[in-house]
Every structure is written in C-alpha cells, then in structure tokens.
Amino acid sequence: MYPVKLAAYAAQSSKSRGRVHPEPFKDDRLMFERDRDRIIHCAAFRRLEYKTQVFVNHEGDYYRTRLTHSLEVAQIARGIARALNLNLDLVEALSLAHDLGHTPFGHTGEEVLNRLMQGFGGFEHNQQSLRIVDLLEERYPNFNGLNLSWETREGIIKHSSDYDKAGTSAITEFEPAERATLEAQIIDLADEIAYNNHDIDDGLKAGYIKLKDLAQVDLWQTTFCKVSAKFPLIDEKRQILQTISYLIGDLIHDLVATTDINLAAANIRSLDDLRRQPQKMAAFSVTMQQKNRELKKFLYHNLYRHHKVELMRVKAEHFLTLLFESYIKNPTLLPRAHQEKFDEHGRERVICDYIASMTDRFAQDEYKKLYEPFERA
C-alpha cells in the first residue's frame, strides 16, 4: 500500500521532466507507473530469465538468474522505499531496469565486450541499459525505445556509485553535477543486499561454499546464531534460509536508519536540497559497511573464484570473443535487420548490441553453429 503522503524529498510523477516523445495515452496511469509497466513488457526484460547471475542456466533450475535477481532487488528496494516514504513506482521501475544491459555470462561478458570495443566506445552495462530503453527496443509506432520519463532514465544511468564510468556522452543529458533522486540512490544498495544474500544461498546449494567456512564471517555467524537461538529445533536447510531472511531484514533496517540520520543531518527538506548534496544520502552505517566488506571478500574468494565458476568464465570468454571476431570478419552472419543498422550506428556497435542482447544459451547455440561442423545452421 502506498504511503499516505510522499516525503518532501521524494520524486513525484506530477513534477517529472517528462518524456522525449509526446504521446497520446490510452489510460491515466501515473508517469513512473507507466515506466515500470513498459520495462516489464519489453523484450530485454524477458531475456534476463536466461542470463547468468553466478551459475549458468544449464547448471540447475534452482539458481538465480538476472530475472529472479531483478525481482529480488525490486522486493528489497520497495521495502526500503516504503520505510522512507519514497515513490514506489519509480523505485520498482529502476529495480527492474537496472540489469537490462547485462550481457550473457554475467560480468565476464561485460569485461569481454568492453575489451573488444576499445576504440569503438567500450561497453558498460548501465550505459547499455539506457541504450536499450532509449533506442534498441522497438515496440511503438512513432519512436524507438520505451520513451521513459527523464527521472527513470536518469536513475538507470546514475544508480551506481560509479555512474561517471558510464561515459560522458551517456551522462551529459542528466545533470552530471547533480545527485540522483533518493529512489535511484537506494537501488545500488538494494542490489548489494540481494546478490550477497542470494549468492550465499546458491553457493551453499551448489556445495561451492560450506557453513563451517561461513562461520568465519561475523555478519553471517551473528545472524545464524540469533536464528538458532530463536528456533533451536529447525533443520539446517530452514536455518540457512531463515538466516538469509533475517540478514536481509537487518541490512534494510540499518540502511533506512542510517539514511534517515543522513537526511536529518544535511537538513534535506526537498528534492532540490537532495540534488545539491556532495555525497549520497542513502548509505549503510560504518559498522555495517565493514561487515559487508568482509562478507563480499569471502564470497569473492570462495564463490566467484571457485574453480568451477572460473572454468565457466574461461569458456564464456572464448565463446564471446570468437562470436565477436566472426561477426566482424563476416558481418552477413548477423540477421538482416541488424545489418541494416550498420550505416547509422557503426558495424562494431551493432555487433556489440547483438551479442549483449543474447541469452547464455543463445550465445552457446550460435557458437555451436559456427564452430561445430555437424551442427545445423
């Protein structure tokens, strides 16, 4: 249920800077509500179902994908936004859009495409998300893209703490000297809460990390013991899942409390006040930041660099590099609709867009068609 009244510093649909293309609308949905709905129905959002989070889709039906991750981020971000009386529609739109630009095979795909696109503008997934909603989606009669509001588009490119890395051309339109809305600021932190906790769940399920090793991580072990004391008779599986649930709750509570303190200390009384701040207002406490860093360090060494994850990473580098090189040498391998965009956008960028849009399994199938002699074309 929406708060009775939004906070004075919240984004409001009625005060939006609007859309690039004027449109006649068939109903009276609010600005950010319509943005959210357009994102949910776009092709790039559906493709997230078969894009890697940590585990490639064929490794099992249990593990998170980019789609389920995005839904978890939205759920967490809504909880934070409700506690802070922010605009829930804008928060949900940004949560669901924040990974639209991700490549197949997770961050490996992003690193490969960025390397291959040096000299042609590089590749960065926030910038690609904006490119998708501004240009690459083709649904409407009078324009390309989704024609989202200025605030949603701003949040897509600015939600990350290092949004300036998205490239000067991408950020110029969105007042780079101004701080993003608080709705956008919480997305990066909701993202962190989601992936840290669901990666623990997936890592334990896969057997790549062990409970005895996690016991060394203070944030995990403190919460695990709290759950054990509250539910002494539950089995290990339920205790793990309850620990993750309580941990998410603790992180949300810390984030909301710290953000409230920051807003009060800076005397934030309007969205304009917020935009003038030199630092983000949304943040974890210093203590929680330290505990989070310890958890992230553990996951990096024990899960993300596990030899089986590394094996898939090396395979993915090989798949995507060969696909890119093959398309550069033989651009007629691309569907004709993509070839027709070469003159407008450049051959390399169109090929990059095409590969970035692929799901894991589509990329693997394309590789087989090109390099396995008995595979049907």
User: Can you give the pLDDT of all 377 residues of the chain as single tens digits?
Assistant: 444 589 999 999 999 999 999 999 999 999 999 999 999 999 999 999 998 877 665 555 667 889 999 999 999 999 999 999 999 999 999 999 999 999 999 889 999 999 999 999 999 999 999 999 999 999 999 999 999 999 999 999 997 654 444 455 678 889 899 999 999 999 999 999 999 999 999 899 989 999 999 999 999 999 999 999 999 999 999 999 999 999 999 999 999 999 999 999 999 999 999 999 999 999 999 999 999 999 999 999 999 899 988 898 999 999 999 999 999 999 999 999 999 999 999 999 999 999 999 999 999 999 999 988 766 76
Q: Give pLDDT, residue 1.
A: 44
Q: Looking at residue 159, what is its pLDDT?
A: 74
Q: What is the dihedral of CA 135, 150, 53, 240, to 10 degrees?
A: -160
Structure tokens given for 66: 């980019």
Type and span of the H or E element at 278: none
Angle at 43 between CA 332 and CA 38, to 5 degrees: 140
The pLDDT score that the predictor gives to residue 63 is 76
| Per-residue model confidence (pLDDT) at position 165 | 46
pTM of the model: 0.93
The alpha carbons of the chain give a radius of gyration, in whole angstroms, of 22
Backbone phi and psi for residue 145, each to the nearest 5 degrees, phi listed first: 85, -175
The domains located in the chain, with CATH, are 29-309 (1.10.3210.10), 310-371 (no CATH)
Helices (H), 42-65: 43-47
Per-residue pLDDT at 4 = 56
pLDDT number for residue 166: 46
